[in-house]
Structure 1
């Protein structure tokens, strides 16, 4: 019996993976085309949610980073959608067109993920009066959905920033290495990997060490858990000074 490291086995494995990839691309192109046709009718929201969820996982398994990023962004967009109105239909049609282009090779997997993300429709947030035009600045919010996220997102939208909400620290770390956001605002208390641990990881990785980071916390500034953070990490306190701290963090990140 040939060893697991033999060329023949490796070749067979490569052929198998290539076959699975071709099958995945073909099936996904069919699903995408079907959704593009159905989207104007406004009756396919559950299928859209299922599609982008499946797509994100499968793209990750095959190492298709651009496709995974688009699927993640589409999931983020869909979290704020209740019904498919005209705006949502137009925006999601754009997402599906980008997915088709990636599947057909019109956009290479080695392209600029950062630039591509900034061309995608912005996730809806809390509506504000006289919202400014969206600027080419992305801030990633790593926190659980709720009042805190709503407030921060409202402030970011008032500045015209693109807010990407990721409620999972491990996914946020992977996203940061791919998309290189302009800033990340982390909740200190998160399941699995804490926001403090994520801030340390971001500072240690060459691809992300220059991304400005702020941590939202109820701990005192002299708490031992916060002492391990690099000096460049801003603290946003859960006090009456929350808004002021957020503004200071944006200023320190050169976003204001």
Structure 2
């Protein structure tokens, strides 16, 4: 999916041309106005008794009116040029933000990587693992001891179970974050799918006898998902397509600028409203392409 591409240089160029046109209107109007005004004054001076003086007065009145309108047009064009310059600056800032926001996607770190072959623990993120509430669960503690001191077969199985437990818990956290995003976009179908995924993972944890207070339906564990809100979403929250009475989920596009727009929509406010218009325009274009 492609997003609307805006060239700030073109916007700057349009701004400059708009400003020059405003200056041209003002300058040329003054030249013509001065020329006609001088001609009217000369005519009145040379022919003071000229029949039709009222017509000359009317010309002067019209010249003054034209002057006001020309000034208003010039001021309006200058204002438009200023707005375009600000828009170009905003587009540059948005592009830079979209580029800098390109980062390594969140990936689940398997706890088993902390267990070395010599029975020691090491690795980046180890402290967080040891301080994790889930690590304190009695069942996880049993597996932890086996991963350290069991036979080779016991160590292997214990580490696999620990990975599965933490992956299930983190998947629930991810589903909760995704649910909140889908809810913000009023995407009921995807909300339901996120809820189903969370319930599926809860059953897995229940099968491992993990304390439900750590993952139950009423427990908010979204903090354990360390990625961005949009990274939690497998599908585009803004797209709601129904075909033959069935909802068609659209995978989250990898386009950074498009995701940046969705992020602004989530934040709300004036920028969110602006971003929503851009997203709507993209959807409109996609619809036209689809119909074609």
User: What's the TM-score once normalised by structure 1's chain length?
Assistant: 0.24
Higher RCO, 1 vs 2 (CA within 8 Å, ≥6 residues apart) = 2
Would you tell me which structure has more helix in proportion to its own residues?
A: 2
Would you tell me which structure has more strand in proportion to its own residues?
A: 1
Question: Which of these two proteins has the greater Rg computed from alpha carbons?
Answer: 2
